[in-house]
């Protein structure tokens, strides 16, 4: 297909430009067409402003004027520049052309009518000033032909002109052949623009109304195909296999409950009732357990695992990191082993004889509960009777990974997805499709709220003096840093650098551990084990510790470069402390003096509700920040915005449900998926 051809087949794109395009993730003509102009960045040549109407906000604007005078000057730093004064009937503007822009002067003369495009700012005198300007002699016919022009995100030496020229060529190809990418009936029913017209108008809109309609179509297309994919995945998982109907809670469960070192909170009790009754039903459970950090999800999962075992089956729990797997193993062994349940670990670092033993036990059914990482989805892992699949901190797993694990059972196993990432309802709907949701609000009793403080650099010494006091009192602390290696681009101090600084400075003589993603897994385990046992007092780490680590003796969390973190993420980090009845602290350290940043950080002080913080994050930073494709394993959305387009999302979901219920319609979706320029959506279908 033409859209799978490399962009170098277009005129004007050689290896150098191709490399620049590659940096924008564009290699094929289809990729190019899929790269939509930045939102709100279209330049409207069809409506010229008067000088008076230009707004001095630094945005790119276009106007027509007459050159009143021009001259070249030298700045104080001896740079030469040209200043062109232009006027129309409403006022004056000064256009500045610097070094490499000065070539434009050749074509210009005083008294000439010109078309000016540039960034408009307040000028020194009464006039407005225009920089980054393109000044062209005025030609009526040319301007009429220009219409509304797109602007694209650039890289390297690419210019808007390069981009537009490539895009025009690609659209020519599309005009010859462009199969639909939505079922025809849907396009009719929803009055959506045909694909070609939508594509033309998203890049070179004939009018703003057509641009709106083009956006509408692509937003719908993305959300609809995404929902179809999720529903298909869901149907495939259920496909053909029987669900398992568990009996009511019996003696084993009773025993496990009595073994718990605490009574369940009402929130845990409620969630457990929902899970237990799902498991007793004939339909396989598909439940999302959302609970704020520290709300006690592990205990609830232990009961579910015990229930599977009580009914003669196996259960497994998959977590994203070795560290977390180790901790869950310890917790689940504590809860389950006294009741006679066998619990084993399977991760990349379980090797040799031990691995063979565990694998054999899983196959024979003598291992009843397995805690593991991605290692669980490998082909060698064969369960005898897998009835329950729990994934913890699910947003780190892809849809396909979950499917692989679920498909390791001869039945349709029950699925419990646990997440500490507070996901607003609308997002849960998209990301998880039609999972049922249990929500655990609040924390187990006896916890003191964590005191959150926000400081700038000059308080660093006092903060670390406070840390030393906590350690002298027998407690432990975390320092979290945003980066692993030094980087000139980002000012944040790398974790290694901070480790060096602290161990040689403020924390001299105190045992500190260093933890980051680049360590080998045995090294990580060791560092973590040392911190859990209290051998090291301070753990200096990247966000590796974000997920699930539980050290109740830790009472202080310092977040370095706090401005670089999302609110929800900081909330997760903060949840690592405050896990005992001792007063805990979270200190946000920033070198930023940007008032907006500081205001954002202040939200952390006032708010300890992870769900509210997640909503705020979405408001402030957009969905992409919170749920990048890498995190939730779903395709990137190019144009739809889950927050803004909630209504479309809900409608797309209903329509997708109808489609999936009708064989002929579904076949049509399968057919149009092949016409997409990329495999974002077919990947969910055919994972
Ligand atoms: P999360 O939901 O973040 O995974 P955990 O399951 O790690 O939370 O639980 C956090 C801490 O709270 C653990 O130390 C656990 O032992 C404790 N905990 C859990 N449930 C209760 C409860 N009902 N009462 C008291 N402490 C509890
Ligand atoms: Mg947890």
The answer to whether residue 679 sits within a structural domain is no
> Using a 6 Å cutoff on CB, does residue 264 contact ligand 1?
yes
What residue's CA is closest to ligand 1, atom 4?
297
Which of 263, 296, 329, 551 is the pocket-test mutation for ligand 1 (most atoms within 8 Å of CB)?
296
The answer to whether residue 269 sits within a structural domain is yes
164 and 145 share one domain: no
Site of tokens 């974002």: 680
> Using a 6 Å cutoff on CB, does residue 299 contact ligand 1?
yes
pLDDT at 575: 87
Q: Write down the pTM of the prediction.
A: 0.64
The answer to whether residue 519 sits within a structural domain is yes
Point out which residues pair with 585 in neighbouring strands. Answer: 451, 556
Which of 299, 302, 393 is the pocket-test mutation for ligand 1 (most atoms within 8 Å of CB)?
299
Point out which residues pair with 345 in neighbouring strands. Answer: 371
Q: Which helix (H) or strand (E) holds 528?
A: helix 521-532
CA of 266 relative to ligand 1 center, distance in Å? 13
Point out which residues pair with 314 in neighbouring strands. Answer: 386
What three-state secondary structure class fits 101?
A: helix
Inter-residue contact 593 to 563 (CB < 8 Å): no
Q: Which atom of ligand 1 is nearest to the CA of 298?
A: 6
The answer to whether residue 374 sits within a structural domain is yes
171 and 86 share one domain: no
Point out which residues pair with 114 in neighbouring strands. Answer: 65, 137
> Using a 6 Å cutoff on CB, does residue 581 contact ligand 1?
no
> Using a 6 Å cutoff on CB, does residue 553 contact ligand 1?
no
What residue's CA is closest to ligand 1, atom 17?
296
274 and 395 share one domain: yes
264 and 377 share one domain: yes
What residue's CA is closest to ligand 1, atom 25?
444
CA of 291 relative to ligand 2 center, distance in Å? 9
CA of 379 relative to ligand 2 center, distance in Å? 27
Inter-residue contact 513 to 536 (CB < 8 Å): yes
Residue 395 CA to residue 462 CA, distance in Å, equals: 37
In tens, the pLDDT along 88-103 reads: 999 999 999 887 777 7
In angstroms, how far is CA 591 from the centroid of its own chain? 25
Which residues of the chain carry a pLDDT beneath 50? 485-492, 625-632
Which CATH number does the domain housing residue 386 bear?
A: 3.40.50.300
* 3-state DSSP of 530-599: HHHCCCCCEEEECHHHHCCCCCCCEEEEEECCHHHCCHHHHHHHHCCCCCCCCCCEEEEEECCCCHHHHH
458 and 588 share one domain: yes
Q: Which atom of ligand 1 is nearest to the CA of 295?
A: 2
380 and 527 share one domain: no
Q: How many domains does the chain have?
A: 4
The answer to whether residue 203 sits within a structural domain is no
Closest by CA position to 1, among listed 37, 22, 31, 24: 31
Which ligand has its closest atom nearest to the C-alpha of 264? 1
Domain range for 119 is 43-151
Give the full edge-to-edge strand order of the sheet including 343-346: 343-346, 369-372, 314-318, 386-392, 414-419, 286-291, 436-440
> Using a 6 Å cutoff on CB, does residue 262 contact ligand 1?
yes
461 and 401 share one domain: no
Q: Which atom of ligand 1 is nearest to the CA of 262?
A: 24
> Using a 6 Å cutoff on CB, does residue 290 contact ligand 1?
no
CA of 292 relative to ligand 2 center, distance in Å? 9
Max distance between CA atoms of the chain, in angstroms, equals 96
66 and 7 share one domain: no
pLDDT at 327: 86
Helical segments of 62-183, H only: 140-146, 160-176
pLDDT at 433: 64
Closest by CA position to 541, among listed 447, 530, 533: 530
In tens, the pLDDT along 254-271 reads: 999 999 999 999 999 999
Residue 545 CA to residue 476 CA, distance in Å, equals: 14
The tokens describing 144, both together, are: 């009429």
Domain end position, chosen among 542, 572, 607: 607
pLDDT at 550: 80
Which CATH number does the domain housing residue 65 bear?
A: 2.40.50.140
A 10 A CB-CB count for 121 gives 15
Inter-residue contact 120 to 128 (CB < 8 Å): yes
Beta strands 343-346 and 113-122, pairing class = unpaired
pLDDT at 105: 83
The answer to whether residue 671 sits within a structural domain is no
Which of 294, 329, 576 is the pocket-test mutation for ligand 1 (most atoms within 8 Å of CB)?
294
CA of 268 relative to ligand 2 center, distance in Å? 13
Distances, alpha carbon 440 to alpha carbons 195, 332, 372, 484, 495, in Å: 44, 20, 24, 34, 34
Domain end position, chosen among 419, 437, 470: 419
pLDDT at 490: 44
pLDDT at 141: 54
Which ligand has its closest atom nearest to the C-alpha of 302? 1
Residue 543 CA to residue 564 CA, distance in Å, equals: 12
Point out which residues pair with 70 in neighbouring strands. Answer: 84
Beta strands 80-88 and 91-98, pairing class = antiparallel
409 and 501 share one domain: no
Where in 107-188 does DSSP place strands (E)? 113-122, 128-137, 148-149
408 and 490 share one domain: no
The answer to whether residue 62 sits within a structural domain is yes
Residue 200 CA to residue 635 CA, distance in Å, equals: 24
> Using a 6 Å cutoff on CB, does residue 610 contact ligand 1?
no
Q: State the DSSP string of 423-480.
A: --HHHHHHHHTT-EEEEE-S--TTPPPPEEEEEEGGGHHHHHHHHHHHHHTT-EEEEE
- Within 8 A by CB and 6+ apart from 105, the residues are 70, 72, 82, 97
The tokens describing 75, both together, are: 């700045």
57 and 26 share one domain: no
In angstroms, how far is CA 262 from the centroid of its own chain? 36
The answer to whether residue 187 sits within a structural domain is no
Domain end position, chosen among 579, 607, 635: 607
Distances, alpha carbon 598 to alpha carbons 287, 568, 608, in Å: 38, 16, 17
352 and 455 share one domain: no
């Amino acid at each position: 297909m033409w859209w799978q051809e490399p962009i170098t087949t277009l005129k004007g794109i050689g290896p150098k430009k191709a490399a620049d395009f590659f940096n924008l993730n564009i290699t094929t003509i289809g990729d190019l067409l899929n790269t939509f102009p930045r939102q709100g960045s279209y330049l409207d040549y069809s409506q010229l402003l008067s000088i008076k109407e230009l707004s001095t906000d630094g945005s790119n604007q276009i106007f027509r004027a007459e050159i009143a005078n021009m001259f070249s000057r030298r700045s104080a730093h001896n740079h030469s520049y040209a200043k062109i004064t232009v006027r129309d009937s409403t006022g004056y503007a000064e256009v500045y052309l610097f070094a490499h822009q000065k070539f434009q002067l050749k074509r210009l003369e005083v008294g000439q009518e010109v078309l000016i495009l540039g960034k408009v700012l307040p000028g020194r005198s009464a006039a407005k000033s225009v920089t980054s300007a393109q000044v062209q002699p005025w030609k009526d016919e040319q301007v009429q032909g220009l219409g509304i022009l797109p602007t694209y995100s650039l890289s390297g030496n690419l210019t808007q002109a390069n981009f537009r020229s490539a895009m025009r060529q690609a659209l020519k190809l599309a005009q010859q052949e462009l199969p639909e990418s939505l079922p025809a009936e849907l396009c009719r029913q929803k009055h959506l623009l045909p694909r070609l017209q939508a594509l033309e108008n998203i890049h070179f809109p004939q009018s703003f109304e057509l641009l709106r309609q083009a956006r509408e179509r692509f937003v719908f297309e993305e959300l609809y195909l995404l929902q179809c994919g999720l529903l298909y995945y869901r149907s495939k998982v259920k496909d053909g296999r029987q669900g398992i109907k568990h009996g009511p809670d019996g003696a084993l469960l009773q025993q496990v409950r009595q073994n718990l070192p605490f009574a369940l909170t009402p929130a845990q009790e409620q969630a457990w009732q929902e899970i237990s009754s799902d498991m007793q039903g004939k339909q396989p459970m598909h439940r999302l357990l959302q609970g704020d950090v520290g709300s006690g999800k592990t205990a609830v999962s232990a009961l579910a695992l015990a229930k599977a075992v009580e009914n003669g089956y196996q259960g497994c729990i998959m977590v994203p990191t070795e560290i977390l797997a180790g901790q869950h193993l310890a917790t689940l062994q504590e809860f389950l082993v006294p009741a006679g349940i066998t619990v084993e670990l399977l991760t990349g670092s379980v090797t040799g004889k031990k691995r063979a033993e565990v694998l054999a036990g899983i196959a024979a059914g003598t291992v009843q509960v397995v805690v593991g990482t991605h290692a669980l989805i490998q082909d060698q892992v064969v369960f005898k009777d897998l009835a329950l699949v729990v994934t913890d901190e699910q947003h780190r797993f892809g849809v396909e990974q979950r499917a692989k694990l679920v498909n390791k059972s001869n039945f349709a196993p029950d699925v419990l997805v646990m997440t500490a990432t507070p996901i607003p309802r609308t997002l849960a709907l998209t990301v998880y499709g039609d999972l049922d949701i249990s929500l655990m609000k609040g924390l187990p009793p006896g916890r003191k709220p964590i005191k959150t403080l926000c400081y700038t650099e000059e308080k660093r010494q006092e903060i670390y003096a406070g840390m030393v006091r906590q350690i002298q009192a027998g407690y432990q602390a975390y320092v979290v840093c945003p980066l692993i290696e030094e980087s000139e681009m980002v000012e944040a101090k790398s974790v290694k650098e901070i480790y060096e600084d602290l161990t040689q400075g403020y924390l001299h003589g105190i045992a500190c551990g260093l933890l980051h993603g680049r360590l080998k897994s045995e090294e990580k385990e060791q560092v973590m084990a040392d911190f859990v046992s209290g051998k090291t007092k301070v753990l200096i780490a990247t966000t590796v510790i974000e997920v699930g680590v539980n050290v109740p003796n830790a009472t202080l969390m310092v977040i370095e470069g706090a401005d670089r973190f999302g609110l929800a993420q900081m909330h997760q980090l903060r949840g690592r402390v405050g896990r005992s009845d001792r007063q805990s602290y979270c200190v946000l350290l920033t070198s930023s003096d940007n008032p907006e940043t500081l205001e954002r950080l202040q939200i952390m002080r006032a708010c300890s509700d992870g769900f509210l913080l997640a909503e705020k994050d979405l408001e402030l930073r957009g969905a992409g920040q919170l749920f990048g494709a890498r995190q939730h394993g779903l395709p990137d959305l190019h144009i739809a915005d889950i927050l803004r387009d909630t209504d479309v999302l809900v409608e797309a979901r209903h329509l997708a449900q109808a489609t999936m219920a009708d064989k002929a319609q579904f076949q049509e979706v399968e057919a149009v998926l092949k016409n997409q320029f990329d495999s974002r959506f077919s990947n969910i279908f055919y994972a």
